[in-house]
Structure 1
């Protein structure tokens, strides 16, 4: 078992953090937790998890991974709603990669009780 912190930036090991969501053992309880677990899924090229947590009306097939992309960090900048008490929410984040960063405001909704990614807007 790895003792390194999870790629999402939280101090827990992957297995105790996003790995629990990826395996299906525990659903992400908030939009932010889902955002973190999806970032980690991109780091790990976990297409199955990404598709499972993508809203059915916006889900691509397949996920288009860039083989040269090396994700280097995630910074959560703002959250709005998206708690265990909400049915929708947004998470604004900056995901860094070797050579640059992606800044996005993502929208999330609950579908059958589970948080899913709907879409996002790039932020300048």
Structure 2
């Protein structure tokens, strides 16, 4: 799960950083960059909400992933879910970073950067 979400978020981050290279006097791309950041935040927030809601809906107390006693104690289940989601978020960030590195230095280049025609803008630090 962390790989898929991380790949998506990593690509959004690459798009975010490429925007300054595509900006011009008529469009500073600020609104688009804000949209990208909102999309990143909303993606994780919605995934978190939906995933934990499905977890709650389909818990049967059989203890396949956790001991059965955890499912019967809402406060304990909430702690376990929080820890699981925190770990998943860390995986997501790691996979997202790996995706960005692969897209920058690997064979699969980033069109968002490659299409910046002004080499000084393309190489400019943020």
The structure richer in strand per residue is 1
Normalised TM-score (structure 2): 0.24
Normalised TM-score (structure 1): 0.24
Larger-Rg structure: 2
- Greater RCO structure (CA 8 Å; 6+ sep): 2
